[in-house]
């Protein structure tokens, strides 16, 4: 078996409202190993979210191939979990029912095993006592934890995360980053994490994919040499700040063509 995820010569073109073509991605090549945590950063409009949608099977590439476990991606797959920018919880359902909702939506029912798994996940994210609460009774950070738990219900091999902490305040964002690191260490996944935050990318990932401005291309892939496990001390490590400054220069030097 080769890479877990592989994009080979992927180009994605959309048609705008006036009928003109817009190339979001151009000849993107990217390969991920099992249980690797890869962050994708770059300027707005460079195709970061499009990459996630292609891997998730929500889009078919205009050119090139997207493969998971050496098989072409042609539709959404069960081994993939997705976490969006907003929690998108159903306000009329309890926290527990929100977590199990994907099973009910797909199979028309939720069995005792699914509920027990949901309770285990709630305990893992520190919300054991909130199973019966409604989303509006939770803080933003707590709601996003529920969204992560929902994505983990079927224990996916691959987790796609599209700026999941962007709407949170700085302190909650840091808290959620450390929470994600803990979850990932306890239940390893292959993670593709889209973010605009260089510090967030450094704290979380094994490698950082730097995208150019649209049309998005892989401008550079940076290995993150910070030791794991990472903690608050990581944020004050001089190497962390040196890397952040180097990456910031590289990101802002990627000008549109």
pLDDT tops 50 at residue 257: no
| 244, part of any domain | no
| 130, part of any domain | yes
pLDDT band, very low/low/confident/very high, at 255 (cuts 50, 70, 90): low
∠ CA 66-45-25, rounded to 5°:
30
| 132, part of any domain | yes
pLDDT in tens, 123-147: 888 899 999 999 999 998 899 989 9
Enclosing domain of residue 147:
89-155
pLDDT in tens, 156-200: 999 999 998 887 888 888 888 998 898 899 889 999 999 999 999
| 117, part of any domain | yes
Q: How many CB atoms lie within 10 A of CB 40?
A: 26
| 30, part of any domain | no
pLDDT value of residue 171:
83
| 205, part of any domain | no
pLDDT tops 80 at residue 1: no
pLDDT value of residue 253:
67
| 123, part of any domain | yes
- Mean pLDDT along residues 71-90: 90
Q: How far is residue 4's CA from residue 48's CA, in Å, rounded to a whole number?
A: 19
User: What is the total count of domains within the chain?
Assistant: 1
- Give the DSSP letter string of 183-243: HHHHS--EEEEE-S-HHHHHHH-SEEEEEPSSSB-EEEEEE----SS--HHHHT-HHHHHH
| 253, part of any domain | no
- Mean pLDDT along residues 227-255: 85
């Amino acid at each position: 078996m080769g890479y877990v995820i592989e994009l080979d010569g992927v180009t994605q073109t959309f048609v705008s409202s006036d009928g003109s073509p817009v190339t979001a991605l151009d000849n993107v090549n990217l390969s991920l190993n099992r249980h690797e945590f890869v962050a994708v950063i770059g300027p707005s409009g460079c195709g970061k979210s499009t990459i996630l949608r292609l891997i998730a099977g929500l889009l078919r590439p205009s050119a090139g191939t997207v493969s998971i476990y050496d098989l072409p991606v042609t539709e959404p797959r069960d081994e993939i979990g997705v976490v969006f920018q907003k929690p998108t919880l159903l306000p009329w359902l309890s926290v527990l029912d929100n977590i199990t909702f994907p099973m009910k939506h797909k199979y028309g029912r939720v069995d005792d095993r699914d509920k027990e798994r949901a309770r285990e996940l709630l305990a893992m994210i520190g919300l054991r006592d909130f199973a019966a609460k409604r989303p509006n009774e939770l803080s933003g950070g707590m709601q996003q934890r529920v969204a992560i738990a929902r994505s983990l219900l079927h224990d996916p091999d691959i987790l796609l995360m599209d700026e999941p902490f962007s709407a949170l305040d700085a302190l909650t964002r840091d808290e959620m980053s450390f929470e994600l690191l803990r979850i990932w260490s306890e239940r390893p996944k292959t993670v593709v994490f889209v973010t605009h935050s260089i510090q967030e990318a450094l704290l979380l990932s094994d490698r950082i994919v730097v995208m150019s401005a649209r049309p998005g291309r892989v401008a550079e892939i940076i290995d993150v040499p910070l030791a794991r496990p990472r903690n608050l001390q990581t944020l004050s490590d001089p190497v962390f700040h040196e890397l952040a400054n180097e990456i910031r220069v590289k990101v802002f030097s990627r000008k549109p063509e």
